[in-house]
Every structure is written in C-alpha cells, then in structure tokens.
Amino acid sequence: MPRIDNEKFYSSAIEKFGTTAKGVNWHSSESQKLRFKIILEMLPNDISGYTIADAGCGFGDFFTYLKKKKREPKNYAGIDLLPDMYSIASSKTGCEIIIADICKDSLPLADYYICSGAMNVLESFETHLFIRNCFTSSKIGFIFNVLHGDKESETYNYMTTEQISCIAADLGVKSVIMRDDYMDDDITVGFFKERINL
C-alpha cells in the first residue's frame, strides 16, 4: 500500500494553494526552483537535441523553468498519475502529458528521465520500482531528487546514500553522480548508462 493517499495529498494542496509550488506540496517556490537548478546542472549544456520525460510532472513546472532559462529540449513529455495534474500540466505547457502509474506502467522512451519530488511520498519498494522504470525507459540516464537521510516519517520517504548506491548496483548503472550540497535533507542523483564526467 502507498504511504499516503496520493490523490488526497495533492488535491487538498491544489484546493488550498492553487497551481503554485505549494499546490504540489513544495515548501516554497524557491526550494522547488533550487532543485530544478541542480537537475539542470546534471543535463548537457545544450539540451535542444534531446528528449526529456518528467516523471511525476505535477503542473509541468520543470518545463516552465526550462523555458525561462532558454534551455528547451527537443521534446518534453510529462507523466503523472493524477487527472488534475494531467489537465493543469497540459494547459500550462502545451506539451504531451501522459497519465500513467510510473511504478508499474509501460513508459515511453526518452533520452533523459527526470523526477523532482514525486518519490517523496512513496514506500521504499515503490521508490525502487519507480527508479527502475524511469532508468530502463531512458536512453542516457535518469536524474532525480529525493529526501536524504535515515529519518523515519509516516508521510515522507527518506533515502540514504547507501540505499541509492544499492539500487544503482542492482540496475547496473555505469555512472552515479550525487549532489547533497544545496539544501538540508535533500539529494539529487544522476544514474547514467555510460561513464560520464560532469
């Protein structure tokens, strides 16, 4: 069973805060943008020739961020489980948005998969399935952030560096990049299919 009821968790936030960062349960717009910045730093400087799939895309805010930074990919597709997110992201981005359960549904191929925050309320086994499906569906790699540490929480899912490394080994990841220097209790991870140097 999921840690919480995803639909209630997000629909109540949307009702209270609208289509803002808090509407997808971010602490603030600033923390959301900081996480986006770190993900973007792990992508190539020129992403105009690449396809990006945003797993757990919410309102499609990562695409909006890319547009503001003038770093649009060749193609962006958002993926989310919730119909509310599908409707809002479709309207906000004008891009293809797919309704899917990322833990178990077949996903489209993309050069890069990214995920910001969507795994924070999953159980640990769901997180493993989510990461596996995104990494397998990527041609180059999967870049994601999660809550970092060994805290116990009834709502949120924290991962240790050791747990992340075990998943990487299980998936045969060739290069793992980890950044935990930008915010307390958060880590951004890049799983890549070839050896790379950032």
Q: What is the pLDDT of residue 121?
A: 87
Supply the pLDDT for residue 23: 45
- Which residue ranges of the chain lie beneath pLDDT 50? 1-4, 9-10, 13, 17, 20-26
Supply the pTM of this predicted model: 0.86
pLDDT at 196: 78
Spell out the domains of the chain, with CATH numbers in brackets.
Answer: 6-41+48-192 (3.40.50.150)
Number of CB atoms found within 10 A of residue 195's CB: 7
> What local confidence, expressed as pLDDT, does residue 12 receive?
55
Residue 7: what pLDDT? 52
Q: Which residues contact 39 (CB under 8 A, 6 or more apart)?
A: 62, 114, 116, 143, 144, 145, 188
Q: For 61-117, what is each residue's pLDDT tens digit? A: 999 999 999 999 999 999 999 998 899 999 999 999 999 999 999 999 999 999 999
